Structure 1
Amino acid sequence: MLLCAAFLLMGCTKSQKAVEYQVAKNYFFVNNSPRSMSLKMTTELEFGKYFGMAAFMGKDGQPTEIDFKKQFVIAKVLPETDTLTHITPLSLTEEGKTLRLKCKITRGKKQSYTMQPFVLLIVDRKYIDKEVTE
């Protein structure tokens, strides 16, 4: 009976598969873009409407390369805030026809300026037809 119950429970759970991604570094959110969104960007032209390169001198100063022939980008963007805010991706999983993004949002001290918190995930293009949800 215990074995039967285990099989029933396994049949009721959704199949989740971890999806590999890379966090893109050294980009900025374009100020005249919409303020709060989750985006799936599949071309360099589309990506350029929302994000620009923020290179700086020194080690790790170049923006992460994105090859839109092999990859696409998922962006999680929060509204402007004067509170120090970090978005940490926890997981990206494939669940049937969707990709489910889970993030942790950490808020810190109030600042004397505003910021636009965002995180960019670079994902293999084989998942491009999946709908992205949170």
Structure 2
Amino acid sequence: MMKNVYILFSILILAGCNSSVRPGDSTLNEEVPFKEARNYFVKNNIDAALDSPKFENQQEFKKVFGMATTMGENGKPTPIDFSKEFVVAQIEDPSTQAIELKPVSIRKNSNILEIKYRKVVGENRSYTSQTSMVLIIDKKYDSEDINIEEIL
């Protein structure tokens, strides 16, 4: 009798350990590495409302962004290899305030790429600019659905 209780107890414990993660499904809340692109600017003919925040090729990217090369060691725009990488961008409305967008995290949950960022608003300036956050991500983390969320 006691042996049957142990067997039943063991079966219940094993059944309770069953996970909803399927073999081969490693994209549940997976942290995604990224690079932040530097020395690009939003072209004057672009407003903040984009059809999609994702850019999969150089032609799409060049319609929205230009290169802002400056002098010095870090003056060249960050290279993007669209054969291996894609870009996700958050573009703010034009503003006279100094605005900085800081990426906090990128995670992949099933087929949704979840991007969280923090917005830092600075002082007023005498000119208008359009701030953007340009993130370069490896294509192995590609996803159809992208959710970009500002955290406070």
Same fold judged by TM-score > 0.5? Answer: yes
Confirm or deny that 1:30 pairs with 2:47.
Answer: no
Query: Once the 2 structures are TM-superposed, how far is the Cα of residue 104 of structure 1 from its aligned partner?
Result: 0.1
Runs of 4+ in 1 over 6 A off after TM superposition: none
CA distance in 2 between counterparts of 1:105 and 1:35 reads 15
CA distance in 2 between counterparts of 1:121 and 1:93 reads 13
Q: Where in structure 2 are there 5+ consecutive unaligned residues?
A: 1-12, 21-27
TM-score by length of 2: 0.76
Secondary structure, aligned partner of 2:80: coil
Query: AA paired with 2:32?
Result: V
Q: Of the two, which has the highest radius of gyration?
A: 2
Query: Once the 2 structures are TM-superposed, how far is the Cα of residue 127 of structure 1 from its aligned partner?
Result: 2.2
**How many residues end up aligned between the 2 structures?**
126
CA distance in 1 between counterparts of 2:100 and 2:48 reads 16
Query: Once the 2 structures are TM-superposed, how far is the Cα of residue 33 of structure 1 from its aligned partner?
Result: 1.4
Q: Where in structure 1 are there 5+ consecutive unaligned residues?
A: none
TM-score by length of 1: 0.86
Superposition RMSD in Å: 2.0
Q: Which has the higher strand share?
A: 1
- Other-structure match for 1:17: 30
The share of aligned pairs that are identical, in percent, is: 34
Q: 1:53 aligns with which of 18, 42, 67?
A: 67
Query: Once the 2 structures are TM-superposed, how far is the Cα of residue 36 of structure 1 from its aligned partner?
Result: 3.5
